[in-house]
Every structure is written in structure tokens, then in C-alpha cells.
Structure 1
Amino acid sequence: MRWLRNILALAPCGKPQASHFAHVTGLLQWLPGRLNFTNLEHYGGRSARTHARWFARPFPFARLAVAALGALPPQVPEGLGELLAMDASFVAKSGDQTWGTGWFGSGMARAARWGLEVTLLAAVDVAEGGAYPLCARQSPGTVRSRRQACGADTGRETALDAALALLGEAVAAGAKETLGTRWVAVDGGYARRPFVEGVRQLDLHTVGRLRKDAVLRFPYLGSHERRPGRKRQFDGCFDRRHPARMARTPLKKAKVDLYHAVLHAKAWPCWLQVVYVLPRGADPETKEGVLLYSTDLDLAPERIFRFYGARFQIEFAFRDAKQHLGLNDGQARSQARQHFHFNLVFAALFWARLQARLQAERPLGPFSLRHRKRHKLEEEIHKRIAARSATGRNAPNAGAGRCRIPPERLWLRAPPPETGPAGP
């Protein structure tokens, strides 16, 4: 983890805090079992109270990740960080004293479940096909009250507010200047006017998916008659069953047809670069396609299609964080400690993928955190066995004078001498 320690020397944090972050991040690369304070104390050597205290303090996760991506060597291709992906995931943790619990949508259960929700922002390498987590933020919980159930405004922060705050944190960390970030890819849940306007205020563009019932209008390009009143702006609405009014671009490799045009979204309202994706040879009368959009009117339709497909790499980050890094195993209950826990898990994934990328010196492609973590665990076991054998200790808490290796068992310290084959 030498690369991590070099970047930590430039981070705006003290040496003790940087040392604790490097210690826990390296520990998560091979930690077996659950990620809680007890397990960190058992395998890491530092007390659970020490970890709990450091978890309660703020840490510049976004600045550290952006600085690491900005300091990559020349063999890493350019373009990493131009596209950011954002998505939210359900976390099955629902204690009575846990901050932020509420009803959130679970993709696995296909229903709303009581627990937590965390929103992740990741830098996507479109050429490589991988996501590098930058920072995460917990969504505010829901209030189980009659006032909110009736739809009244409670003045609380919403999930869209948390997503915009997370994006603003990355921009404040220097994502646009260091990484050249220009676009943010999101799913259909973020196709709302407050989010799109908030992204535009950050001088970024949104790439996402539109609802099925979105009202899109063609611009009027004809001549205007000399008569009083406002000039005509629109020339009919977009109909999914008749996409022939839009320009068509076939993609042979993806086996789809892209129908694209600059249309006006009535609900927002603003002009969008709209791409209607249909399978090749499909009948628009019977087959329903997917509506993609971008607020960048100069973005090519092929890139919109590719950017939205690359957005799904963030789902693999959620999978690795839950299955191998203990995203659901947090022992903390306060907002500050949970924030540190979520960001620590994704930071461990970020540094594991980045270290594998630097060692490979080529695009990674499929990345298996399971194999990498198992390999790191075997290395740690061999290292500890070798260290105890070299010092003459066969128990972790026993004194050196009481646990000396007897002469008849010196093979624990050195390999046995080679012997030839037995005689007749």
C-alpha cells in the first residue's frame, strides 16, 4: 500500500488519522468475517474504542480518491473520470437506535423494505469497463408519521438533496479540474427536474433514462406567418410507435438502432438530446424501446448509449462491497460513524481495484475481488506463521522464554535437512 501512503501525505488530515485510515484500509483487503469494531480489534491489534473514536471524525474521502486518480502514471489511459456514475442501494440494517432508517426500495426484494440506503458516486472508465468509487452518502430516513404519509412538507432532506450534496462534494474536491469530469450517468429514478437543474448548476451534464410517459416535443422549423402573437415553437410530440421523424444510426456490434433528435421536455422544461433505442429489426408498433437523454446537446447519440451502458458498472461495486467488504455489517449507529463506515468500505474497494490496475499495467476488464481477497488472506497467514516461527513463538500471547521451540522440533524454525532415499 505504498501508493496509498504517498497520497495520504498530501491529504488534508493529520498523521494519526492518516495512519489509522491506511491501517484499516489494508486490513479490509483480507479481513475474514464481519466488519465490526470487535473483528477489527481481533485481527488488527488496535482496540475497538480506538476504531470507534476515529470513525466519528470526518475524513476527506472524495479529495483522497480524486487526488489518487489525478496522480496516475502515464500508462493509465486518459478519460478515467470524465464520466461519473451515481446510484443508490438498499442496506439491510434496521436497528432501533440506528440513524437514517426508513422505507427504501430494494431491487433484490422488488419491494420497499425497512432499513438504510446509501448513495454512491463512482468514476467510470468507459474503455476499461470499471467503476472506481469516490465517495458515498447515506440517504435520510423516512418519518413514520401521519403528516408525512399525507404528503405534507416536513422540511427534511430528501434523497435527491443527498445525491446533489454528494455530487457537490466531488466537485469541491476538484473532480472537474483534476479528472475533467463533464457528465453524470444516472438511472431513471433521477429523471426529475430538481436533480437535472441541480446538476446544471454545478456546470455538469446528465445522462440518463426517461420515463415512459415523458412528453417530448419536436422543434418547429418552418416559416412563421406575419400575424400577432407568439411565434410557433413546437411541431408535435414524439410517438414511440412512429420514430421515423428522428435520425437513425445503426450500431452493428450492439445490434440496436438509435433514433435521435433534439427534443423539448415539457415537464422540466428544457431541450434534450434524446436517443430512442430499439433492437435491430424490431417493429416499433409492437416492440417498446428505451428512451435515453442527455442535457448536453452536442453529445453524440453513440456516446449516450455507451455512457448509459457503462453506468451499470457501479452495480458491481455494490456487489463487491456487500459480499466481500462488509457493507451490511456496520456496528455503528450514529450518523457520523455510519458515514465513515460506508465510505471506508468503498475506499477499500477503490484502492484494491486501483492497485490491481497499476500492477497489471493494462485494462483490467473483469475484476474479481473475491480471488484477490483470498490471495491476500493466504499471504497474511503465511506472513504471521513465518514471523512466529522466526521468533520461537507458537502462541500469540505467550512469552518468548516460556514458548521456546525444543531441540527435537527445530523444523518449525528451519526446513528439515534433505535426506536421500533409504537403503535396501
Structure 2
Amino acid sequence: MNVLAILKDFTLRCKSVFENTTTKMSKRFLNWLILTIRTVALIPGKVNFTRLSRYGGRTAKTFASNFKTSVDWMKVNIGMAQDCFGPADDMAVVIDPSFISKAGRLTYGIGRFWSGVAQRVKRGLEIMAIGAISLSKHTCVMLGAVQSPNFRTLESEKQMSMLDWYVALVRSKATEMLSLTDILVADAFFSKYEFVNEVIGMGFRFVGRLRANSYLRYLAIPDSSATRRRGRKKKYGEKVDFSNLDMSVFTSFIYEDSKGNKNRCHTAVIHSRALKRDIRIVVCPVENAEPLLYFSTDTNMRPEKIIGFYRTRFQIEFGIRDAKQFTGLQSQQTRDRERLDFAFNLSFTALNVCKEVIRKDYPDLSVAQFKRLMFESYLASTVISTCGKSPHLKIIQKINHRLALLAA
């Protein structure tokens, strides 16, 4: 492994990512953006304007002013997703709100939001993370992030609830997401009629999860031998009792996950009173606990894919975690709305490029090891360029060996 070549490989890969997209930007800004993404990928610790200036060779004012530039991040990241995943047969788009820690009073959108890590409401920011998952690859490419306004602003200025805001957000990004796939996956919070009905109207097939006490009904089976009666025919049968499933309606199958674990599950097409539509439900029994209920609004979708899509949805959580740990998702040194949007999406794009380089060139490295190699390569290159002389080949080999040991 030529450690000193990692920076060059990363820069070339980053250039190819932007060359393969239809996003229009000036050559000067593109060169700055590639430099910034490379700098984010090698900075150890927090990523802010001060540290970008220290490692990127530009002033903090230059970074701050360029962070107000508008970039179509979705197009860039969709191109990476298509290159990584290939055919769209096993792809889905995932959405997931994420809490971002932030202090102060004047930051745009600051308010009280739910933190899944703390399991309580906290003061800070919230973004809606959008990602693309693949069943065969079992990974996620982050497509972008949109910051959520605080609840008081939505209620007073726009007369909207947070759920209304999420619907409007999906609608604003629907064209880009549908160009990738028409399957949308979200957690149980979004399994509400107001959200599901709207996204179906946009052209999506929705995959989600229901609570164990959801009111579900069997579809009425017409009896040809019964005498005809006046009035409307019965549309639905009895309520579904998950402790005693009607196996004349449900079909059993064995589901094997990516780790080889097998579980007997049951599936059927039934009616959801809350969603006001027929859905395909998949019941996964859990020992000494309530069963897990996965569903899809596409009644013809294979039950194995329903379980697979929902469980692979968790990969977006890993993407958010990695962005927070390695590419500065929650260490922004700004309060401005445009700069915050740029910083959030820059973090996800930098993470995507890191994973793309790792996937193609360094498959044995983790993101943490790759970042460490990037930093050590930057450090060694800086020392060599500062010396002003070409070192001996044996010296370079010793540096390569030493840096490889440091990053191992």
C-alpha cells in the first residue's frame, strides 16, 4: 500500500464523482469543493471553519463565504448510489429524522426535538436524512439532508405540524428520489394515514412497520353457497388476532437474514383501518414478546423483500453515525441557514466519497482507519514538500511502512 498516494487517489476519485454528474458549477468552485471534501476527509476531530483553514490552505473567511453557494447534492449522491448499487431492482429510498446537538439562541431552526440516543426531547437542531439502500449490498449511500424548522415556527408562520412538514419535504424531493426507485422506507412513526396516503399519491410504494396493537381486518371472502340478501355486501371479516392467526388466510414461509439466521414468518393481504387501505402484512413472531409487523402498500411485493427493506433501513443510522464521528455532521461553526444546509450535505457527500474510495481501492480498511491514513499521508506530504528535496527511495519506503503501522 502506497500511503503517500492515498491523497492523490482520493482527489482523483472525487473529481470522477463530479464529472459523472449533470450538476453545473464553475471550474474554480469545483476545485475548491474537491479540496474541501478532501480536507473534511482527513481532519481528525471536529470540522469547522478554523480547522478547515488550518488543513485546507485557505482562509476561514473563504470557506465561510463559499458555504453559502447552492449545490444540487442529491444529483451528485444519486450518481454515486447508481454507480455503487447498479440495477434498481433491490434499491429503496430511506428517510430518517436525526437530532443534531447545537448550542446558542440565534442559530436557524434551533428548538426542541426528539433525540433517539437520549430517548427524550432536547434542545438543538433536526435534519431529515435521505439515503438509498440496497438489499444485495446491504449498505446505504447518503443522498442528502434537509434541516427541519422548529415546531413553533411551523405552527405560527406556516400552520403546519411536523408531519405536514415531512410530507412537504418528500414532495419537494420526489422527482429526484423517483428517478432512483419508487420504494420508500421509513420507521413506524411515519406509518400514519396522512403521510402514507400522500406519498402513495406521489408515486411511491411505502414499506414500514405497524404497532402490535394495530386494528387490522381480514378481507371478506364471498360465499357462493350463501343465500343472497339485500344491502351492501360485507367488505371485511373479523379483526386479526396475532396470537391466533387464521392460517387459511395467512401463508407461512422461512425467512433467512444476511447472517444465516432463519425464522418462520407469516404473510397475508389484509385491511388496515388506520391507513384506510389493503396492505400486505408480514408477521414475524418474537419469543416472549409481541410480534413484529412489517407491511407494504404494494400487495404484490414479496414478503422477503418487505422484511429485507425494513431491516436494511437501519443502515441509514450507521451513515448518520459515521457522518457525526468522521465528517463533522454536528460540529458546524455557523448559524446561517444556507451555510448549515451546505455543511450537513457536505458531511454526507464526504462520507460517501470516503466509502467509495474504500470500496474500490482499500476494501480492508474501516472509515476510521482510512481517515487516519489520509491524515498521516497529508502530514508526510507536508513534511516532504516543506523540506524542498526529493528524499531517497528507502526513506519513502520507511515512511510508508511507518504510516501503515500507525493506521493499522
Report the TM-score, using the length of structure 1 for normalisation: 0.81
Q: What amino acid is aligned across from residue 240 of structure 1 in structure 2?
A: F
Deviations 1:287-345 (A, max 9, x none): 31111111111111111111111111111111111112111111111221111111110
Structure with the higher fraction of residues in helix conformation: 2
> Which of 263, 266, 276 is the aligned partner of 2:270?
263
The one-letter code matched in structure 2 to 1:26 is R
Conservation of the 8 A alpha-carbon contact between 1:80 and 1:126: no
**Partner Cα distance (1:186, 1:267) in 2:** 17
In structure 1, what is the equivalent of residue 405 of structure 2?
none
SS in 1 for 2:307: helix
Bigger-Rg structure (1/2): 1
Deviations 1:345-394 (A, max 9, x none): 0111111112222226xxx6x972111100111111111111111259xx
**Which deviates further from its counterpart, 323-332 or 10-19?**
10-19
Secondary structure of the residue aligned to 2:150 is coil
Matched, 1:202 2:205: no
Q: Provide the secondary structure at the position in 2 that maps to 1:109.
A: coil
> 1:288 is paired with a residue of what secondary structure?
strand
Distance 1:162 1:353, change over 3 A: farther
Q: Which residue of 1 is the match for residue 220 of structure 2? A: 220
Secondary structure (helix, strand or coil) at the match of 1:19 reads helix
Q: 1:90·1:116 contact (CA, 8 Å) conserved in 2?
A: yes
Shift of residue 265 of structure 1? 1.1
Instruction: Report the AA paired with residue 24 of structure 2.
Output: P
Partner of 1:277, secondary structure, is strand
Q: Give the direction of change, closer, same or farther, for the CA distance of 1:33–1:153 in structure 2 (3 Å limit).
A: closer
Q: 2:152 aligns with which of 139, 143, 146?
A: 143
Q: 1:172 aligns with which of 160, 175, 178?
A: 175
CA distance in 1, matches of 2:209, 2:304: 15
Aligned mates of 1:367, 1:222 — CA distance in 2:
60
Q: Which has the higher contact order (CA 8 A, sep 6+)?
A: 2
Describe how 1:60-71 pairs up with structure 2 within 5 A. 60-70=72-82
TM-score under structure 2 length normalisation: 0.85
Q: Which of 110, 113, 118 matches 1:109?
A: 118
Structure 1, gaps ≥5 residues long: 393-410, 417-424
Residue deviations 1:52-101 (CA, integer Å, cap 9, x gap): 2221222100011123334x38xx65348721221111111132001111
Gaps of 5+ in 2: 1-10, 397-408
In 2, the alpha carbon distance for the partners of 1:109 and 1:118 equals 16
Partner of 1:407: none
Aligned twin of 1:22? 34
Partner of 1:322: 324
Matched letter for residue 119 of structure 1: M
Q: Report the equivalent of 1:88.
A: 97
When the two chains are superposed, the root-mean-square deviation of aligned CA atoms in Å is 2.7
- In structure 2, what is the Cα distance between the partners aligned to 1:13 and 1:115? 32
TM superposition shift of 1:157: 4.6
Asked whether the equivalents of residues 41 and 326 of structure 2 are also in contact (C-alpha less than 8 Å), the reply is: no
Q: Percent identity?
A: 27
CA shift for structure 1 position 6: 3.2
